[in-house]
Amino acid sequence: MFEIVTDNAADLFEGYYDENPTRRLPFSFTLEDHFYEKDDEYPIELFYEKLKAGKLVKTSQINPHDAEVMFEQVLQEGKDLLYIGFSSGMSGSFDNISYIAKGLRIKYPDRKIIVVDTLAGAGGEGLLVYYAKKMQNEGKSMEEIAEWVENHKLNAHHCFIVSDLINLRNSGRISTLAALFGMIVHINPVLELTTQGKIGIVTKSIGRKKSISEMVKFFKTNYIKDDNDFILIGHTNCPEEAHAFGAQIEQLSGGIPVKYGYINRLVSGCAGYNALAVFFMGKTRV
């Protein structure tokens, strides 16, 4: 028997985790000089309003103690453990968790622990968790699932835009000069995760409408219908725009449904208010 564990950076459509209980490690953050140890304890709608008001959010890694406690709970229940985690290209959390897993393998020699760096986040990481749990329900072994995630993680796409570049600058994802220049000339870059699990630029567009058109083009180029049960649209509180965008994607999906969900607090703290994203399985990232 084994259990799949992930973290709060793994987004899925609304209601999924209610129907499919999954242990998820929390991230922490600081907002308005107050430290929040568990990100999921702060209401997501209020979090977005703080971003809209221009409040600075400083995100932090997973607390190693929280990870050790949760992992031990699983192991003490007599289960093996598969951890599917947030990209090491955007956080040091995975390295810390790998170290914890190494120690727990010694402490619990009869239990198996596998940790997988998804090189993904938000809906991309969520898709990998979804398919992993689907395979588990189909009777696949932990080793088979871990191998599948490892072999397919670069097929998980994250195509997204942000309303401004300040939060990406504040989080260290882009330089101050690049952010200021982009704002001056109204550049709305279309972004994706690289093969190293870091934020990269797909194309630079002038204006949000043009950027959304480029997102549709990116989806059309990289989408593989047969590899998807659904397509996920994520957003930071722009539901009307998200559904309008989703309608365009659904026209190209070949009958695969489009589902919707919020982008988590960790990623939202970097992306800011009014971010819009599409997550899907497709051609290998290059």
How far apart are the C-alpha atoms of 11 and 9, rounded to whole Å? 6
How far apart are the C-alpha atoms of 205 and 201, rounded to whole Å? 11
Q: Is residue 286 part of a domain?
A: no
Between 9 and 178, whose confidence is greater?
Answer: 9
How far apart are the C-alpha atoms of 260 and 54, rounded to whole Å? 25
Average pLDDT over residues 187-212: 90
Cβ-in-10-Å burial (0-12, 13-18, 19+) of 20 comes to middle
Whole-number percent of the chain with pLDDT over 90:
83
Residues sharing a CB contact under 8 Å with residue 113, sequence separation 6 or more, in sequence order? 71, 75, 80, 81, 83, 101, 104, 105
Q: Are residues 163 and 149 in the same domain?
A: no
Whole-number percent of the chain with pLDDT over 70:
92
Q: Are residues 116 and 242 in the same domain?
A: no
Q: Are residues 117 and 239 in the same domain?
A: no
Domain boundary at 153, 178, 201, which? 153
Q: Are residues 111 and 171 in the same domain?
A: no
pLDDT, tens only, 92-149: 999 999 999 999 999 999 999 999 999 999 999 999 999 999 999 999 999 999 999 9
Nearest to 84 by CA among 1, 140, 147, 141: 147
CATH number of the domain residue 168 falls in: 3.30.1180.10
Report the DSSP pairing between strands 190-193 and 199-203.
Answer: antiparallel
How far apart are the C-alpha atoms of 41 and 224, rounded to whole Å? 36
Q: Does the pLDDT of residue 219 top 70, yes or no?
A: yes
Average pLDDT over residues 276-282: 99
pLDDT category, 8, cuts 50, 70, 90? Answer: very high
Q: Are residues 83 and 203 in the same domain?
A: no
Look at the pTM and tell me if it is higher than 0.85: yes
Nearest to 129 by CA among 37, 7, 263, 264: 7
Residue 104: per-residue pLDDT: 98
Segments forming the whole domain that contains residue 55: 2-153
Residue 207: per-residue pLDDT: 86
Q: Are residues 9 and 97 in the same domain?
A: yes
Number of other residues whose CB lies within 10 A of the CB of residue 122: 29
Q: Is residue 146 part of a domain?
A: yes
pLDDT category, 66, cuts 50, 70, 90? Answer: very high
Number of domains in the chain: 2
pLDDT category, 179, cuts 50, 70, 90? Answer: very low
Q: Are residues 55 and 75 in the same domain?
A: yes
Q: Are residues 115 and 64 in the same domain?
A: yes
How far apart are the C-alpha atoms of 238 and 275, rounded to whole Å? 8
Q: Are residues 205 and 262 in the same domain?
A: yes
Q: Are residues 173 and 258 in the same domain?
A: yes
How far apart are the C-alpha atoms of 45 and 268, rounded to whole Å? 11
Q: Is residue 138 part of a domain?
A: yes
Domain boundary at 110, 128, 153, which? 153
